[in-house]
Chain A
Amino acid sequence: MFAAFMLHAWLVATMVAIVGGAVGFFVVARRAAFAAHALPLGAFPGAAAASLLGVNELLGLALFSGVGVIAITQLQRGERREVASALWLAFALALGVLLLSLSGAYAQSLYGLLFGEVLGISRTQVFGIALLSALTLALLALLARPLLLESLSGDLAAAAFGRARSLEGAFLLIVALSTAMAVPVVGALLVFSLMVGPASAARAYTNRPWRALLLSVLLSMAVVWSAIALTYLTDWPVGFFVGALSAMCYVAGRRRSLLAGAGS
């Protein structure tokens, strides 16, 4: 038993780290950190609804992440992304409260959704998460260059694509997919830290974009693996270690950029 659940935890956490680190690189480059916070947190009522209806949690998370993408991109027309993200976040949380009160779910399961429950991953969840990881990484690989160009300048990208259409919707969809898979593991509140911490740190250590992406993935894996090991040793919540280690990555990166005059 011990071996099985630990193996599941390591497998899933590694997948979450790879996807989080890779998606995080673009989240930071595109300055979309707040949207990356609003999407996972806004997906949590999906999980509450799923438990109310007795269906797979991952399905509810994916569905609500998708709805979040549509809501944010639609609200974004004429408004700024921050405003759209904040509106969606507030509405989704309100809905989450309602669904939780209707379902009468235990506080324990709410806690797991918000802060993660890496040691309680089932075999079916492993398959679901593997599938979502593969899909997210494939989409990211497909759009890597256009996304990078667009993070340099939307106008340059539009001229290169031959039309004034942005990749924002496709990008938020990628964030939503990675969110749906990561929420059960590291929790809705902390997905954000895993996406932003390692990616911000990585760009202080290299000037090369794809190297920064790779470094972001490696740092993210280091954070998650350390967090699991520390959770196992201390029995403290895994979310605490993920959040704290990600923040430490960020601080270390900032210190380096300041010392090196914004990196060399």
Chain B
Amino acid sequence: MSRSPALSVEGACVALGARLVLRDVTFALEPGEFCALIGSNGSGKTTLLRAILGFVPLAAGEIRLEGAAGAPDPIGYVPQKLALDPALPLRARDVVALGLDGARLGISWPSKARNAEVDRMLRAVGAEGFAEQRIGLLSGGQQQRVLVAHALVRRPRLLLLDEPLANLDVRSTAEIVALLRRLSREYGAAVLLSAHDMNPLLSAMDRIVYLANGAAVAGRPEEVVRTEVLSSLYGYHVDVVRVHGRVVVVAAEAGEQIHEAVARDPVHTASVP
């Protein structure tokens, strides 16, 4: 490991009010690595991403980005379930352009170089077909592509995506995962993607960070997604079951809460409790 990690999180703790939302989270990502951040709702996925972005302070521990000694490289970020206003006069291409220079002061004058950069990024995510349409009127999968282009256009070393697969159909999900996998290699950007279901990501991920009740285990998927590892994380016995090429994590002694979760959505049960 000669390269410095794109991101290293060491013993990170985050408190919201009196509640400790993240406890001693430790992991590191190499440039170009694809990492899934898996956990059920309320396990602290969004908080971890927001802590990496610097939106919430750490109570303890450290989060380092590559090149943090000088100016830290920008982080590409795709937030959770954006409700984009369909009446906002903003084309997909404008959203990508705002990724390039949206934080800059002053008026932007038309520039060929800038347009070429935006076009290149739109092609890279397969959004050239709807580049001229309003962002708020695009489908969920199309919006995700545009937001990924927005996040990647400044070539960040780290791309954070908060539940980008929520509300996507099966086909769009597979397409977005394949796209992110390819772009992380091409651009050498580490990707950290949160999801409550690991199954669509099984073939893509190099690394997994599994969160439960604010604590985390991290490593290669085959090291982490194991009965004894996850049982120790949850603090009670869970079984990792592989059926029909899918991974399901189920609690052996099913409490009422778990029954409820299974009954509500018996298919994606990667992280039931």
Contact = CB atoms under 8 A, between A and B. Distances in A.
Interface string A146-166: 101101110111111111100
B129 interface: no
Contacts of A164: 53-55
Interface string B81-115: 01011111111001100110111111110000000
B105 A148 contact: no
B79 A155 contact: yes
B145 to A, nearest CB: 15
Interface stretch (A124-132, A136-144, A236-244): A136-144
Interface stretch (A11-19, A203-211, A220-228): A203-211
Contacts of A161: 103
A26 B103 CA distance: 16
A208 B102 contact: no
20 contacts: A142-B105, A144-B107, A145-B98, A145-B101, A148-B98, A151-B85, A152-B98, A152-B135, A153-B79, A158-B53, A158-B55, A160-B98, A164-B55, A203-B87, A203-B88, A206-B89, A207-B134, A209-B89, A211-B89, A263-B134
Given A142-B106, A159-B75, A159-B77, A208 B91 contact: yes
A56 to B, nearest CB: 32
Contacts of A202: 89
Given A146-B102, A156-B77, A162 B107 contact: no
B14 to A, nearest CB: 14
Contacts of B223: none
B89 A153 contact: no
Interface residues of B, number: 36
Tell me the interface secondary structure of chain A in the complex: helix
B90 A152 contact: yes
A2 B135 CA distance: 51
A176 B78 CA distance: 33
Contacts of B98: 145, 148-149, 152, 156, 160
Q: Which 5 A-B pairs have the closest CB atoms?
A: A149-B102, A159-B77, A155-B79, A212-B89, A160-B103
Contact of B88 (A143, A145, A152, A162): A152
Contacts of B85: 29, 31, 151
